[in-house]
Structure 1
Amino acid sequence: MQIVSPQFGPLDIDESTAITFPDGMPGFETCTRFKLLHEDVPSPKVLWLQSLDDPSLVFSVVDANLLGLNYQLALSDEEAATIGPGNSDDIVLLLTLAKDKLAGRIKPNTFSPIVLNTATQRAIQKGGVRAEIIFTNT
Structure 2
Amino acid sequence: MNIQTAYHGNITVNDEELLSFPHGVPGFHDEKQFALLHLEDNEWFQILQSTVTPDLAFITTNPFLFFPEYDFELDRASLDQLGNPTTGNIQVLSILTVKDPFKKSTANLQAPVIINTANKRGKQVILTDTNYRTHHPILAQPAGKKG
TM class, shorter-length: 0.7 to 0.9
Q: Which residues in structure 2 correspond to 1:72-83 (within 5 Å)?
A: 72-83=71-82
Using the alignment, how far apart are the partners of 2:13 and 2:115 within structure 1? 19
Using the alignment, how far apart are the partners of 1:71 and 1:130 within structure 2? 11
Change (3 A) 1:78 1:25: same
Given that 1:24 and 1:30 are in contact with CA atoms closer than 8 Å, whether structure 2 keeps it comes out as yes
TM-score by length of 2: 0.78
Match of 2:94 in 1: 95
Q: Alpha-carbon deviation of 1:94?
A: 0.4
Unpaired runs of 5+ residues, structure 1, are 132-138
Specify the SS of the correspondent of 2:28: coil
Match of 1:3 in 2: 3
Change (3 A) 1:108 1:124: same
Paired letter, 1:28: F
Question: Aligned-residue CA RMSD in angstroms?
Answer: 2.2
Q: Alpha-carbon deviation of 1:100?
A: 5.0
Task: Figure out how many residues of one structure are paired with residues of the other and give that number.
Answer: 130
More strand by proportion, 1 or 2?
A: 1
Q: Does 1:24 align with 2:42?
A: no
Match of 2:140 in 1: none
Q: 1:58-105: CA deviations, max 9, x gaps?
A: 00000011113434433333211111132111111100001357x972
Using the alignment, how far apart are the partners of 2:38 and 2:97 within structure 1? 17
Match of 2:104 in 1: 105
Change (3 A) 1:70 1:19: farther
Given that 2:64 and 2:70 are in contact with CA atoms closer than 8 Å, whether structure 1 keeps it comes out as no
Q: Percent identity?
A: 26
Q: Which residues in structure 2 correspond to 1:52-131 (within 5 Å)?
A: 52-100=51-99, 105-128=104-127, 129-130=130-131
Q: Which residues in structure 2 correspond to 1:39-58 (within 5 Å)?
A: 39-41=39-41, 44-58=43-57
TM-score by length of 1: 0.82
